[in-house]
Amino acid sequence: MENLALIDSFSEFKDEKLIDRVTLMSILEDVFRNTLKKKFGDDDNFDIIINPDKGDLEIWRNRIVVADDAVEDDNQEISLTDAQMIEPDFEVGEDVSEEVKLFDLGRRSILALRQNLISKIQEHDNTNIYKQFKELVGEIYTAEVHHIRHRAVILLDDEGNELVLPKDKQIPSDFFRKGDNVRGIIESVDLKGNKPSIVLSRTSPIFLEKLFEQEIPEVFDGLISVKKVVRIPGEKAKVAVDSYDDRIDPVGACVGMKGSRIHGIVRELGNENIDVINYTTNLQLYITRSLSPARVTSVKIDEESKRAEVILKPEEVSKAIGRGGHNIRLAGRLTGYEIDVFREGVEEDVELSEFSDEIEAWVIEEFAKVGLDTAKSILEQDVTDLVKRTDLELETIEDVVRILKEEFEE
């Protein structure tokens, strides 16, 4: 029959999209009912019989026989004369079932039916992809670079699913070529229209946490737990780890002999500097450890304002602050406390910001980037070293030093 040929032509969709035959037949029935509704106004009186094994489909329209002059609804009723052309012994009041051939629907309806089927299968496919990736949110995923755009990299996985790695989710040092395999975490999955939008991220702290799970067996087995991860992607990260077994050194296990275990993670993150520290509920000790590699002399905590005053020897201050202030910023995020650094033995000092009427703000900011935020922290440095450490001209630095010296001479 004609319907069989049509169903055979739909098999390409089943094979291409890996839809099982029963699901395909269900979609087919839905599509046919929509077509019948548009053609006849209603589909309640139609029976659609599908044979999934043979791929066969029959459509039957059921109508009630009425007198020739009593037909009010052509779809629900059939005149006695027309009914007797199908079967001579039909009488008024009986039910008539008549098979609907494809050509009865018209060429335009058949074309629309095909387009509707393609749309329904795509919608089914997209829903399955959405559900599949929604369950993978927060997990590491690998896909291949397919296309590189200005604001994003488009990736394809082995099944041909499209993922997006936006520019702001890439590590600054990332450089990709078409065909490269890229790892990241599935950060979000949304439906835009009927199409799933899958966003990959390499900058999320969760990515680093999952890399620890993949690369360090004790973390994977649950012997070591990752308590918190903070990152400045591509620059520096701090990871607080803990062990429920006193015999296991969590930091040593994560770093490995001569950094052997963590080396692969560092390389994956574009040589991001990773500090692994022992987690503790002792807040003073936790803040002290968070400022590693600096050695802290003492810590004073104000729990109400969530601030901590940390005293260090002058030579330890730059280590605590770190390049560009990264170390102290991450320590604050790791502990949840705003950390203020003070030099041991320095009783009188003045914040550099106090000189904003004489020193331009951008100059103060340049000094702050290298951890020099007070007058004495600058005066303790050699001018030549200040030129090397900052992006400031010698003349500018000499002017600043002169202004600061005048303050203390007074």
Q: How confident is the model at residue 21 (pLDDT cuts 50, 70, 90)?
A: low
Between 10-19, 30-39, 345-354, the lowest mean confidence (pLDDT) is in 10-19
At residue 108, does pLDDT exceed 80? no
CA atoms within 13 A on the CB side of 217: 2
**Which pLDDT value is given to residue 41?**
82
CB atoms within 10 A of CB 66: 18
Between 112-121, 175-184, 283-292, the lowest mean confidence (pLDDT) is in 112-121
At residue 170, does pLDDT exceed 80? yes
Which tens digit of pLDDT belongs to each residue from 196-236? 999 999 999 999 999 999 999 999 999 999 999 999 999 99
Q: How confident is the model at residue 280 (pLDDT cuts 50, 70, 90)?
A: very high
**Which pLDDT value is given to residue 88?**
85
Cα(205)–Cα(401) distance, integer angstroms: 41
Which long-range contacts (C-beta less than 8 Å, at least 24 apart) are formed by 279-285? Answer: 279/227, 279/228, 279/240, 279/241, 279/242, 279/250, 283/335, 283/337
Q: Specify the higher pLDDT residue, 134 or 386.
A: 134
**Which pLDDT value is given to residue 323?**
85
Q: How confident is the model at residue 1 (pLDDT cuts 50, 70, 90)?
A: very low
Helices 283-290, 326-335: inter-axial angle, 10-degree rounding:
150
- What does the longest C-alpha to C-alpha distance in the chain come to? 123
At residue 104, does pLDDT exceed 70? no
Which tens digit of pLDDT belongs to each residue from 147-157? 999 899 999 99
Which long-range contacts (C-beta less than 8 Å, at least 24 apart) are formed by 23-29? Answer: 23/124, 24/121, 25/50, 25/52, 25/57, 27/117, 27/120, 27/121, 27/124, 28/57, 28/117
At residue 347, does pLDDT exceed 60? no
At residue 164, does pLDDT exceed 60? yes
Mean pLDDT of 329-350: 84
pTM: 0.64
The residue type at 258: K
Which tens digit of pLDDT belongs to each residue from 246-272? 889 999 999 988 888 999 999 999 999
Mean per-residue pLDDT over the chain, rounded: 85
Give domain 136-202's CATH number out of 3.90.226.10, 2.170.8.10, 1.10.3720.10, 2.40.50.140. 2.40.50.140
Which tens digit of pLDDT belongs to each residue from 392-409? 889 999 999 988 887 765
Q: How many residues does the chain have?
A: 410
Q: How confident is the model at residue 103 (pLDDT cuts 50, 70, 90)?
A: low
CATH architecture of 204-279: 2-Layer Sandwich (3.30)
CATH fold, domain 281-345, is GMP Synthetase; Chain A, domain 3 (3.30.300)
Which tens digit of pLDDT belongs to each residue from 47-76? 877 765 555 677 888 988 889 888 888 888
Cα(66)–Cα(98) distance, integer angstroms: 15
Cα(267)–Cα(265) distance, integer angstroms: 5
Q: For residue 279, which of 248, 252, 241, 244 has the smallest C-alpha distance?
A: 241
The residue type at 183: R
Percent of the chain at pLDDT exceeding 90: 43
At residue 113, does pLDDT exceed 80? no
Q: How confident is the model at residue 348 (pLDDT cuts 50, 70, 90)?
A: low
What is the dotted CATH code of the domain comprising 2-130? 3.30.1480
